[in-house]
Amino acid sequence: MSRLDAILAKPKPDPDDLAVLLGADSPAEQARLLDAAYAVKVREVGPVVYFRGLFELSNLCTKDCLYCGIRRSNQKVERYTIPVDEVLTGARWGWEQGYGSVVLQSGERSDPAFVEMIAELVTKIRALSRDQLAITLSMGEQSEETYRTWFQAGAERYLLRIETSDPELYRRLHPADHSWERRRDCLRLLHRIGYQLGSGVMIGLPGQSVAQLARDILFFEQEKVVMIGMGPFIPHAHTPLRDGIRNFAWKRYAQLALALRVIAVTRLYLQDVNIAAATALQTLAPDGREQGLAAGANVIMPNLTDPKYRAAYQLYDGKPCLDESATQCRGCLQARIASLGETIGFGKRGDSKRFLERNIKGADKGETCENRKES
Ligand code: 5AD
Ligand code: FES
């Protein structure tokens, strides 16, 4: 039996196995790996895809990450913030279409007007959907007070990618005033407050090794991450990390294959978490997100942002669906998901199974997460 097959025959890979699985890059090995991960997904969370309607609220950003197209030093971007009423109209549309959840994402800001605007949006989206829409926020690093304000307004989930679990690699990708430790502490704080915690990394970063990616997966478990959103790194022309761009075209296939293996290995190791098939996968192949589902992901975030704003929210080059309306996005996705033999969990919140089970077990043992809410 090959080393790969011996690992796949275990009920769950051991931590030392992860780098071996991530390196299984021959087409035959990759197919076996993805099939095994798909089987674990179906067993643990079913052949069901949950949709989260994504709103890219604002591209104003105080951060300057070296890879990101909306970093504050990129003066070629026209900055926007979508008015509250427009977001509410979009959220109502999503709710009426049967979306169980929305994600509000924006560049990082922490001024009082912004904090208040997000709290208002959360309160109003909960009210218009009669508390049915679960809300995920993705607004970067914030103070404890801000995280608590938004949680109390009714946001239950928070997505903050650690980008890489390796502090040294993080330092190479960020200016000196960005701190890996501060970001990790934000994740701990979010968990303590009671959010369903989401995080993730970029895959295929310059200088990133398979061993580091294996440690990223262990990091998710250590930090009690129950929703994973990770995608391939894609160079952006107006950032300091544009260097790889000339050669990127021929790297696409390898970059996509690596991202799919990371999804698959995360599913094999963490089993009952939610894993999103990131939009960046679709930049590498038209059916990239569906390939993500076939590798073990179970969440897709259709973009509900009005197309008039989308071109200005380009974190990376070649972002897909820039001019499609939400209705068109929904139609084309639905047909492709049906072709995989999966159904869409319309009308369902799609909470992370790992989160629900941990809370039930915690409650049995008398451990309550502070501020935990019943849902
Ligand atoms: N390629 C891929 N993902 C990127 N992000 C930012 N820039 C890029 C890029 N060039 C991701 C980061 C961030 C998320 C909102 O977008 O992981 O957390
Ligand atoms: Fe940090 Fe955009 S500036 S991810």
**What ligand 2 atom has the least distance to the C-alpha of 71?**
3
**Domain membership flag for residue 342:** yes
**Domain membership flag for residue 374:** no
| 70 touches ligand 2 (CB under 6 Å) | yes
**Domain membership flag for residue 9:** no
**Domain membership flag for residue 191:** yes
Label each residue of the chain as H, E or C.
Answer: CCHHHHHHCCCCCCHHHHHHHHCCCCHHHHHHHHHHHHHHHHHHHCCEEEECEEEEEECCCCCCCCCCCCCCCCCCCCCCECCHHHHHHHHHHHHHCCCCEEEEEECCCCCHHHHHHHHHHHHHHHHHCCCCCEEEEECCCCCHHHHHHHHHHCCCEEECCCECCCHHHHHHHCCCCCCHHHHHHHHHHHHHHCCEEEECEEECCCCCCHHHHHHHHHHHHHCCCCEEEEEECCCCCCCHHHHHHHHHHHHHHHHHHHHHHHHHHHHHHHCCCEEEECHHHHHHCCCHHHHHHHCCCCEECCECCCHHHHCCCCCCCCCCCCCCCHHHHHHHHHHHHHHCCCEECCCCCCCCHHHHHHHHHHHHCCCCCCCCCCC
- Shortest-distance ligand to the CA of residue 59: 2
How many domains does the chain divide into?
Answer: 1
Q: Tell me how far apart the alpha carbons of residues 169 and 208 are, in angstroms, rounded to a whole number.
A: 7
**Domain membership flag for residue 293:** yes
| 330 touches ligand 1 (CB under 6 Å) | no
Q: What is the pLDDT along the chain (375 residues), one digit of tens a residue?
A: 799 999 999 999 999 999 999 999 999 999 999 999 999 999 999 999 999 999 999 999 999 999 999 999 999 999 999 999 999 999 999 999 999 999 999 999 999 999 999 999 999 999 999 999 999 999 999 999 999 999 999 999 999 999 999 999 999 999 999 999 999 999 999 999 999 999 999 999 999 999 999 999 999 999 999 999 999 999 999 999 988 787 888 889 999 999 999 999 999 999 999 999 999 999 999 889 999 999 999 999 998 998 889 888 888 887 777 666 666 566 677 888 888 899 999 888 999 999 998 887 766 554 444 444 433
**Domain membership flag for residue 5:** no
Pick from 62, 70, 73, 106 the residue to mutate for probing ligand 2's pocket: most ligand atoms within 8 Å of its CB. Answer: 70
Q: pTM of the predicted model, to two decimals? A: 0.93
**Domain membership flag for residue 13:** no
Q: Tell me how far apart the alpha carbons of residues 158 and 142 are, in angstroms, rounded to a whole number.
A: 11
**Domain membership flag for residue 12:** no
CATH number at residue 169: 3.20.20.70
Structural domain span for residue 211: 18-362
